[in-house]
Copies of this chain bind each other. A is one copy, B any other.
């Protein structure tokens, strides 16, 4: 029986590239994407995730962990009054003085990876994929995307599962430009992905992640399809 892999899948650029890579490695029928609601301000990324899975013709698992973040003031959450910053990560970090950015959801990737580990063990997967990359960890913006976090979390999952499961983060030492380069090679349907932290009809173009992805496409000599795609 071939190995099966579970994938943390948000419908954004990084996890969709990771999905394409996992499909290339494990085969279409052996990849199980896991999408998790956590109380976001909008549904856009969940809808994007669903349309990407429809594109590939595979079924995923959905969970709702909103209750875990009921006490968090993170600006991405529906119950938070704080606005999503309209500036690049670099500008936000300069203001944050060593702390994570306001869009850091407390230990979200640790929680999501643990959740994926529990479901993966139940469904007979031997790998959990996730699309963290070097740019997200830079300057402590998202500490749960760092290589130190990933190495420890992989050990915790390996030991805590009775050595039945490992994590893989194929982009952990790559930047977003390289992630997009890999995705272009793999024919990722980037026009279906959603990254923007706002829930408008179109991506806002001015939040950290909108700026980030536009630059990654430009560096690959391609226009970000989010700028022209008809999302309606």
Question: Could you tell me if A110 and B160 are in contact, using CB atoms closer than 8 angstroms?
Answer: yes
- Give the size range of A's interface with the partner: 35 or more
Closest residue on chain B to residue A104 by CB atoms: B162
Interface: A161 (CB within 8 A): yes
Question: Could you tell me if A122 and B110 are in contact, using CB atoms closer than 8 angstroms?
Answer: no
Question: Could you tell me if A161 and B117 are in contact, using CB atoms closer than 8 angstroms?
Answer: no
22 residue pairs of the A-B complex, CB under 8 angstroms, read: A63-B67, A68-B115, A71-B122, A72-B121, A106-B118, A106-B161, A107-B117, A110-B114, A110-B160, A111-B111, A111-B114, A111-B117, A111-B118, A143-B159, A143-B162, A146-B159, A146-B160, A148-B159, A152-B152, A152-B160, A155-B155, A156-B156
Kindly supply a per-residue 1/0 record for chain A positions 98-114, scoring 1 wherever the CB is within 8 Å of any chain B CB and 0 otherwise: 01100011111111011
Which residues of chain B come closer than 8 Å to A157, judged between CB atoms? Answer: 107, 110
Which residues of chain B come closer than 8 Å to A159, judged between CB atoms? Answer: 143-144, 146, 148-149, 152
Interface: A81 (CB within 8 A): no
Q: Is the interface of A mostly helix, strand, loop or mixed?
A: helix
The 3 A-B pairs at the shortest CB distance, nearest first, are namely A152-B155, A106-B121, A71-B122
Instruction: Give the CA-CA distance A160 to B114 in the complex, in Å.
Output: 13
